[in-house]
Structure 1
């Protein structure tokens, strides 16, 4: 049975192996996030429709086309949210569509990519979601829309892991390498581009190798202390942070009795 791994899981493990153990091995719950999630979801859906459903017989769609996509996706929003979303998409249109000679058809929108990786005789199933995949001259661009109000860049080591995971999955799915990962902040119109290379793939293979070793040997999932501890959802159970950590809740999964096996 292949072990499921995603960019979020890999970044959590890299940040702190014990936090990974609490969340993914013991199944402890994390508190939900609050925010303007409905507006962000609607913006993602409208852009997916705009690129996926355009007929591409004309070089560039009119603003009315993007607005019609927004109307279909904003039914469950408040009037203020619908107005705000319309303004965000209009700004996007004039910055990223109207000035183009031709709006290129994406390879795919709003999808899930999967791949497999064999490390230390264990099989991992890697997966990740994307908002848009575009063809470039000699590779692929993965575009991730961000609807946050401020531009908040991920830490370099964490974005490197995300790039490496997508690199592996895209190479297997499309036989084409990831050339760049772009974060596109919808509210500000900023597009941050990260170049991808085979070195990112090698880095992910190394980190997954460390994870595989722990899964096979049942070694201690030691904590990695740092600034992340303050915001960690599991710090009350952590002896590295608390002098008297709380006992694990009864809802915690039992530790694995048998770890992974390789599909033959």
Structure 2
């Protein structure tokens, strides 16, 4: 069975192998990880419907179509969230749909992609989610909606890994290269666009190769102290931060989650 890897997992490994080991290999869970907010989920689903279900017989939909998509996916929210979401989508409509010559039909919306990579006789299954994929003249643009109140741009090295991972997956899935990864902040309409290159692909291949060697041959997952330690959920167990770290919980998985696909 292939070893599952995602941008989140690879970024975690790049920050600190020890934290990666505790979270993903030994399945040590903490209360510091939370799911996405209901309003954000509803906004993503409504925008997926806007692009997926529009008939494209006219250049652009009117505002009634936006309201219909929101009504479809805002059930269960509080009245304040419903009003907030409607305002967010109306601003999105004015900036990105109404001012465009036409609504361009995307390649895909709200889905998953995957690719496979074999390193050190270990097969990795690369997975990821996307909000929208658009055709460009010379490649693809992956658009990631952000619904939080503050636009938190990832560190450049973490962003590079995410770009490289999607570069690999889209190349295998659509036989076209990723040209841009765009973060679109729904509340403000701000767009942060990153150009993707083959350098990103090579960088992510190198990190996966390093992980593969450790999975196959290395019994140690040494910590990498840095600025990420201040927000690390596993800092109390870390020997790099304390001479007397807390003992690992006895409820933790007893064996690492290694699922190797060895070449025969």
- TM-score, length-scaled by structure 1: 0.96
Structure 1: runs of 5+ lacking an equivalent:
none
**1:5 matched to which residue of 2?**
5
Q: Secondary structure at the match of 1:143?
A: strand
Q: What CA RMSD, in Å, does the superposition of the two structures yield over aligned residues? A: 1.5
Q: How does 1:3-42 map to 2 (within 5 A)?
A: 3-33=3-33, 37-42=37-42
Change (3 A) 1:258 1:116: closer
Report the Cα offset of residue 243 of structure 1: 2.2
Q: Secondary structure at the match of 2:231?
A: coil
| Distance (whole Å) between structure 1 residues aligned to residue 85 and residue 129 of structure 2 | 23
Q: Secondary structure at the match of 1:30?
A: coil
Report the Cα offset of residue 33 of structure 1: 4.8
Change (3 A) 1:257 1:12: closer
Q: How does 1:129-208 map to 2 (within 5 A)?
A: 129-208=129-208
* Greater Cα shift, 31-40 or 192-201: 31-40
**2:238 matched to which residue of 1?**
238
User: Given that residues 121 and 263 in structure 2 are in contact (C-alpha distance below 8 angstroms), is that contact kept between their aligned partners in structure 1?
Assistant: no
Change (3 A) 1:70 1:257: closer
Cα deviation digits, residues 60-112 of structure 1 (max 9, x gap) = 00011011100111111111110000000000000000011111101000000
| Distance (whole Å) between structure 2 residues aligned to residue 152 and residue 5 of structure 1 | 23
Report the Cα offset of residue 116 of structure 1: 0.2
User: Given that residues 2 and 263 in structure 1 are in contact (C-alpha distance below 8 angstroms), is that contact kept between their aligned partners in structure 2?
Assistant: no
| Distance (whole Å) between structure 2 residues aligned to residue 245 and residue 255 of structure 1 | 21
User: Given that residues 25 and 257 in structure 2 are in contact (C-alpha distance below 8 angstroms), is that contact kept between their aligned partners in structure 1?
Assistant: no
| Distance (whole Å) between structure 2 residues aligned to residue 64 and residue 34 of structure 1 | 34
| Distance (whole Å) between structure 2 residues aligned to residue 44 and residue 211 of structure 1 | 33
Q: Secondary structure at the match of 2:233?
A: coil
Change (3 A) 1:34 1:222: closer
Q: How does 1:72-83 map to 2 (within 5 A)?
A: 72-83=72-83
Report the Cα offset of residue 263 of structure 1: 5.1
Report the Cα offset of residue 239 of structure 1: 0.8
User: Given that residues 107 and 134 in structure 1 are in contact (C-alpha distance below 8 angstroms), is that contact kept between their aligned partners in structure 2?
Assistant: yes
Change (3 A) 1:105 1:57: same
**1:219 matched to which residue of 2?**
219
Structure 2: runs of 5+ lacking an equivalent:
none
Q: Secondary structure at the match of 2:145?
A: strand
**1:88 matched to which residue of 2?**
88
**2:69 matched to which residue of 1?**
69
Change (3 A) 1:130 1:35: closer
Q: Secondary structure at the match of 1:230?
A: helix
**2:44 matched to which residue of 1?**
44
Aligned length: 264
User: Given that residues 3 and 258 in structure 2 are in contact (C-alpha distance below 8 angstroms), is that contact kept between their aligned partners in structure 1?
Assistant: no
Change (3 A) 1:249 1:135: same
Change (3 A) 1:46 1:243: same
